[in-house]
Amino acid sequence: MENKGPELNNRKELPETEEINAPGGQTPEDEDTKKSINWRGLIIGAVAFVVIITVTLIFLRFTDEAFRFKELPIYFKSMNGWYVLLALLCLFAYIVSEGRAIAASGRGIGIKINYKKSTIYSCVELFFAALTPSASGGQPAVAYFMSKDGIKLSKSSVILLNNTLHYTVSLFVLSTFAMIWKWDFIFAPERGKYFIWLFISGYIANILGLLSCLLFIFAPGLVRTIFTPVYRLLAKMHIIKDLDRALASFEKSVAEYSECQKTIRRSPGAQIQTFLWNCAQRTLNCLVPFFVYRALGGGKPMIEILVIQILILCSVNAIPLPGSVGASEMVHKQLYQTLYSVGSVTPAMIITRTFNFYIMVVIVGIVSVAYYIHILKEGRKKSDIERLGS
C-alpha cells in the first residue's frame, strides 16, 4: 500500500460499480503491481509459527502434570458431532464475513467484488496475517492479489485502510462491552498479573491504533506538522538514511488516508455495512470456541463464552508474533480455568485452537496458494497470446 490515491473531488469521478478484471489483468498504469509476494518472509514466518507452537505445546506438557498428548484423541472422539459441525460452519462463515467486509469497503469507492473474489481476498489476508509479525503481511498480500485482478493499488489501499478502521472500531466496541460485562472477572486476583497487564496493554494499543487511524484520516495537516520534524530529526541522528525517500513514502501514506476520509464522507451506507460485517466476523470467530465448548459437554450460556473470547482477542491483539501464537494459547489456558475442570483445561485449549485457528490457517493457506498458482498460469497464458499476436 504505497501508491498515492487519485484525487477524487466528487462522486462522478468514479463509476457506479467497477467490476474487477480476470486474473492476470494487470493495469499498466500501476507500476507497483509488478511487485510480487514476499515468499521468503512468508516462509520465515511459517517456520517461526511452527517453532513457537511446538515450543508452547512442549512447555504446556511439562508445566501441566495432568496433561498427556495421547489423551487428545479421546477428547476429540468424545465431542458431540452436531456441535462440531456448527463450529466448522462458523469458521467458514468467519472467513466469508471477512471477505464481505472487504467487499462492502470496496462499494464505498464504486468497486464491486463478488462473493468468490471477496472470500479469496479474505483467505489471503488471514493466511498472510497469521504468518507475519503483528499481521503485517495481510494487507500488502491482498493488495497484490487485487492488483492482479485489475484493482489499482491506489484503490485497494483505500479499501483496505477503510476496512482496517472498521476492524479497529469493531474490536474497540466489543472489547469495551466485554470489559464492562466482566470487569470483576478481569481484575480478580486469580486472573494473575500476566493476563491483567496483557489485557490492559491490548486495550490501550487498540485505542491508540484507533486514534492514530482517525488522526491520519481526518487531520492530515496535523499529522504532517507532527511527523515531518520527527523524520528530519531521525535523519540528523542517522536513523533514517534517505530523508527524501522516507518523506515521499510518508506523504503517500497521508494521501491514502485522505482518500479514505473522502470515502467515509460520501458513502455512509457502505461504512455501516463494513462495520457490521467486521462485528459479525469477530462474533463468528468467538462462536467457534463456544460450539467447541458445547461439543465437549460445557453448559455455560453463550454470552459467557463470547465475552471470554473477546477478552482473549483484545489481550493478544497487539502481540508482535505470527498469529499471536504462544501468547494466545497461554491466555486461552488462563481463562479456560473458569470453564473446564483442572485436568481438561489444556486439552480443551488445544482443541479450541485447532478449530478456531490451526484448521483455519490450513484452509486459507490452501486457497491462497491455489489462487496464486492460478494467477501465474493466467499471466503466462496472456503473455503467450501477446507473443503470438506480435
Confidence at 386, pLDDT banded by 50, 70, 90? low
Alpha helix locations (H) across 81-219? 81-107, 115-130, 138-148, 153-181, 183-186, 192-218
- pLDDT tens digits, residue range 328-355? 888 888 899 889 988 889 999 999 999 9
pLDDT for the residue numbered 168: 92
pTM for the full predicted model: 0.83
111: part of which helix (H) or strand (E)?
strand 111-112
**pLDDT for position 81:** 93
The rounded percent of the chain whose pLDDT value lies above 90 is 39
Any idea which of 24-28, 117-121, 220-224, 289-293 has the lowest mean pLDDT?
24-28
Percentage of the chain lying above the pLDDT 70 cut: 88
18 phi and psi, to 5 degrees? -110, 110
Q: Cα torsion at 4, 5, 6, 8 (round to 10°)? A: -140
Count of CB atoms situated within 10 Å of the CB of 12: 7
**Residue 121 to residue 100: CA distance in whole angstroms:** 10
Asked whether 325 and 298 are in contact (CB, 8 A), the reply is no
pLDDT of residue 138: 83
Under the banding of pLDDT at 50, 70 and 90, the label for residue 30 is very low
pLDDT digits (tens, 9 = 90+) for 102-112: 999 999 888 99
C-alpha cell at 387: 507473443
Query: Which three three-digit cell numbers place residue 384?
Result: 503467450
Q: In the predicted model, what is the mean pLDDT of residues 1-10?
A: 38
DSSP-based three-state secondary structure for 187: coil
- Under the banding of pLDDT at 50, 70 and 90, the label for residue 383 is low
pLDDT of residue 12: 36
Rounded CA gap, 150 and 49, in Å?
32
In angstroms, the CA 300 to CA 311 distance is 17
pLDDT score for 167: 92
Q: Residue 61 carries which side chain, given as an amino acid letter?
A: R
Q: What confidence tier does 389 reach under pLDDT thresholds 50, 70, 90?
A: low
Distance CA 35, CA 37 (A): 7
Cell of 31: 507500476
pLDDT (0 to 100) of residue 25: 44
Reported as type and span, the H/E element at residue 19 is strand 18-19
Longest dimension (CA), the chain: 75
If one counts every other C-beta atom within 10 angstroms of the C-beta of residue 13, the result is: 10
Q: How far apart are CA 210 and CA 212, in angstroms?
A: 5
CB 122 within 8 A of CB 96: yes
pLDDT in tens, 231-252: 888 888 888 888 888 888 888 8
